[in-house]
Structure 1
Amino acid sequence: MKVETRSIEYVPADERHGKAKDLFPIWFGANMNITTLVSGSLPIMLGLNLFWSVAAIIIGALVGAIFMASHSVQGPKLGIPQMIQSRAQFGVIGAIIPLFLVMFIYLGFFASNTLLAAQTIGDILPIGQTWNIIFIGAVCFVVALYGYDLIHKVQKWFSAASLVIFLIMTYIVFKLPVPAEQWLPSEFDLSAFLLSVSIAVTWQLSYAPYVADYSRYLPSDTPPSKTFWYSYSGTVIGAVWMMVLGAVLTIAIPSFFDNTGGNLAALYGSFAILMYILIIFGQLAINVFNLYGAFMSSITTIEPFFKFRVTPKVRFMFLLVITFIATGLCIVGQGNFLEFFLNFIFFMSYFLIPWTSINLVDYYVLRSGEYSVKDIFDLNGKYGKVNWIATFAFVASIIAEIPFVNASFYMGPIAKMLNGADLAWAVGLFLPAALYYFPMKRKMNYSITVPEANGLAIKKAEES
């Protein structure tokens, strides 16, 4: 298998391959890991019982995956990575703003996934955690280097293996003793419930910045409905399954969070090694996504200023630097994982949701998926250097979210008035859509009518 030769450029028709159904194992497998389990534990940690935790997980996953899968549809249509398509909304230079924030998200997830995997490796091998982190970074680097096709193949095999092993684990988990009142719709806490819904929504949105990267090689005539539903069903089934198991395990095993991988593997008794292998492989698989996405974003950020061809050697060097930085952050950040992860989940949602709102309004409502791919790569093209409408909508929406925020590091005044209910995600979804749509609609109409008016004036002048 060869190293992938494409990076952020358009994938031509003669290189398109695969079918929409290939997206199901990609996104199903992306959720079959202990980081998803930990996310499912968070509603319990916030004070909800199992009934309300499961309800929040299901609602959040169903809602969040709508946006995630809507981004996936853009891949076959445009044939370019997800974040470079943001240039059509923010401008070629302006797109660097969301790109920088997305890079932070990639590194944050890489750190959380790596720390959980390193802890699990430490349970079966007498190796220090720092060396485990370095080993994980090296393996992820190799797979990300080979790129798209290898990632698809790895995810297919992993999805098949995880399906069997997690089916067995589900049977074991639901045999564990859990107090009956945990499944009753009692002691409802609106604040904790909304926070938990937000966690599940944000989990799905975390895939949005790179979901189209894994559908961009599909033929351009791939039905959008198939791209949507294979992506949607894969991520919803995988996420809900793992998150619900995480919630149940947190109730059934009080010390579950102390050593997630070890406690999970212990359920298999003498076959624990199978679970250890699957856990480690799962963390490696999802971390490849983060490195691959970070590579795409870094190339997209630099490309407007320095035109260069991404050869295998250039790809190697970029990925090596990114892996070095990400691994270094993991080594430095070893400590209180739960507090870090909870804060990180909330923090990134305040930036991701306004971006996804602007992107989807532009793609589906304003332009109906019709873009000039050539101009996306042109600093002087029709999308311009900076679109101040998108930039203002994005920044203003983030500022507007602040009073609604409820996180461990800050609680806004409106969140306090609502007894801790976090509605920042709703503000981040609807406000940027309005701030972007109406002025952008006027701008687009003006750009059409002015040339037409000028052309009519010239024609009348010629006739006279």
Structure 2
Amino acid sequence: MERRSIEVVPDGERHGRPFSQFTLWLSANLQITAVVTGALAVVFGAAAPWAVAGLLIGNLLGGAVMALHAAQGPRLGLPQMISSRAQFGVRGAIVPLLLVVVMYVGFFAAGTVLAGQAVGHLTGLGDTPGIVLFALVTAAAAVAGYRVVHLLGRIAGLIGAVAFVFLGARLLERADLSALWHHHAFSLPLFLLAVSLSASWQLAFGPYVADYSRYLPRDTSGRSVFWWTLGGTTLGSQWSMTFGALAAATAGPAFTGHEVPYVVGLGGGGALMTGVLYLVIALGKLTINVLNTYGGFMSLATGVSALRRRRELSAGTRVAYIAGVMVAGTVVALLGKDSFLSSFKDFLLFLLAFFTPWSAINLADFYWVSKERYDLGALFDPAGRYGSWRWRTIAVYVVGVAAQLPFISSSFYTGPLVAPLGGADVSWLVGLVLTAALYVVCGAGRASGRSGAEPAGPRGARGEPGRDVNARV
């Protein structure tokens, strides 16, 4: 079991190479939920060629923002959401943390629905026992922690790559590519919908990323971490989403709503191949669901520690947090398993409105305002230089969320500026650019009085005298 949780990882425990980010994020995206996301672009009306092009643009743009977060891990040696305390205050960071926990539970539930179908067919137990069994395996892997997560990434990435090559070849045998290409009428709103779907997929990874790069040695090149992360997440997601878009365009109703059986059916129907493909689907979902459980545990621990002023957790507390995330996600999965596809699309776009401003603030502060230099000890002290609540940052965050509302297009809310744009949802772009600009111009990051050249002070990152090596990065 991993010993570290939300505290700084000491230099003596750092290990690994940037390539680990490629294998992890490749495997996290070579999975059935990414396939469904790609299919949504076609299901909601986009022509397959334009859907694939829009998905690629969204994956590149959103993936670049996501990969910038990955470079924070080796620099700080901290989980992703802890760094929000430098912008929102030690306790003010609870605001985005609450939303992050909702996201983790939601993605856990969405992934468990599809993986539970695979496990249920593989074991013959049915969907509901399959969902419960998959959730228990996920929780066990999350309890083991960081090294097991990366091991799963390497194994699932290799198996997933081989499986998707095979499945892609089988799909192309059924698809009439010339017919798909000739039915390629361009619609700007539908094209932008495809961009938004994949961009939201990538941007929603922002709260995850540094959790899985924080053990890399401190002198690891930030550029290498960025490019390996971007390469893995873009390749994996585009591969899966292209498969989903082509499957939806080729099979129509035979695919939509029956994604797992359709994918398995591409194998030819033999008992052995069917079993292998169900196993591949379950394994592909295992990596990302472990990330959801592990990240949910980290976020809960970060929020509670701000109130209790603790940074180290016992093994029992760790298990309790992980069990809580697992139970909540499983309940949501069981309640929502019969209406998954449409609700998942709205869930993705809804989440984007809340995480894009957080990502913009976090990155603007780290790269522009603080110049990659934080007082790590103060991140755990509500009376320290970052304070308890940074109200100016919270105000910028609220404005960033509100600014997106006129541009959001969803089944339960459509903003007034969507129709003039032809139905396109560009809220994520507005939220990203506007919030970052407001944060810098309004001086929200400078309001705490910190300076990148300021010395760390007498106490180290763990709040112990004489341990200055980790106090400032």
Pick the TM interval, shorter chain.
Answer: over 0.9
Q: Which of 268, 286, 293 is equivalent to 2:288?
A: 286
Q: Is the 8 A contact 1:64 1:201 kept in 2?
A: yes
Partner AA of 2:9 in structure 1: V
Report matched runs for 1:89-168 at 5 Å. Answer: 89-168=87-166
- CA, structure 1 residues 267+420, in 2 after alignment: closer, same or farther (shift >3 Å)? same
CA distance in structure 2 between the partners assigned to 1:446 and 1:305 by the alignment: 23
The equivalent residue for 1:457 is none
Q: Which of 283, 297, 300 is equivalent to 2:299?
A: 297
Identity of aligned residues (%): 38
Summarize deviations over 1:415-460 as a string: whole Å, max 9, x none.
1222211121121111111221112278459767xx9xxxxxxxxx
Structure 1 gap ranges (5+): 452-464
The equivalent residue for 2:257 is 258
CA distance in structure 2 between the partners assigned to 1:16 and 1:369 by the alignment: 19
Summarize deviations over 1:184-215 as a string: whole Å, max 9, x none.
48421111111110111111112110110000
- Count the aligned residue pairs: 447
CA distance in structure 2 between the partners assigned to 1:345 and 1:104 by the alignment: 12
Report matched runs for 1:11-410 at 5 Å. Answer: 11-178=9-176, 180-184=178-182, 186-254=184-252, 255-269=254-268, 270=270, 271-308=273-310, 309-410=312-413
1:156 shift after superposition = 0.7
Q: Is the 8 A contact 2:356 2:432 kept in 1?
A: yes
Q: Is the 8 A contact 2:387 2:448 kept in 1?
A: no
Q: Is the 8 A contact 1:123 1:262 kept in 2?
A: no
Name which one, 1 or 2, has greater alpha-carbon Rg: 1
CA distance in structure 2 between the partners assigned to 1:27 and 1:53 by the alignment: 22
Q: Is the 8 A contact 1:366 1:441 kept in 2?
A: no
CA distance in structure 2 between the partners assigned to 1:98 and 1:42 by the alignment: 28
Partner AA of 2:262 in structure 1: N
Partner AA of 2:289 in structure 1: N
1:108 shift after superposition = 0.9
Partner AA of 1:278 in structure 2: V
Q: Is the 8 A contact 1:191 1:422 kept in 2?
A: yes
Q: Is the 8 A contact 1:48 1:192 kept in 2?
A: yes
- CA, structure 1 residues 33+446, in 2 after alignment: closer, same or farther (shift >3 Å)? closer
CA distance in structure 2 between the partners assigned to 1:9 and 1:166 by the alignment: 38
Structure 2 gap ranges (5+): 455-473
CA distance in structure 1 between the partners assigned to 2:122 and 2:25 by the alignment: 28
Partner AA of 2:266 in structure 1: L
CA distance in structure 2 between the partners assigned to 1:305 and 1:445 by the alignment: 20
CA distance in structure 2 between the partners assigned to 1:302 and 1:355 by the alignment: 19
Summarize deviations over 1:12-33 as a string: whole Å, max 9, x none.
0000011111111100000011
SS in 2 for 1:305: helix
TM-score normalised by the chain length of structure 2:
0.91
Partner AA of 2:261 in structure 1: G
Structure 1 runs (4+) deviating above 4 angstroms are: 444-448
- CA, structure 1 residues 184+225, in 2 after alignment: closer, same or farther (shift >3 Å)? farther
CA distance in structure 2 between the partners assigned to 1:159 and 1:265 by the alignment: 18
1:349 shift after superposition = 0.6
TM-score normalised by the chain length of structure 1:
0.93
1:137 shift after superposition = 1.0
- CA, structure 1 residues 132+17, in 2 after alignment: closer, same or farther (shift >3 Å)? same
Summarize deviations over 1:297-319 as a string: whole Å, max 9, x none.
00000002224431111111221
Summarize deviations over 1:249-289 as a string: whole Å, max 9, x none.
11122211232111111111222221111001111221000
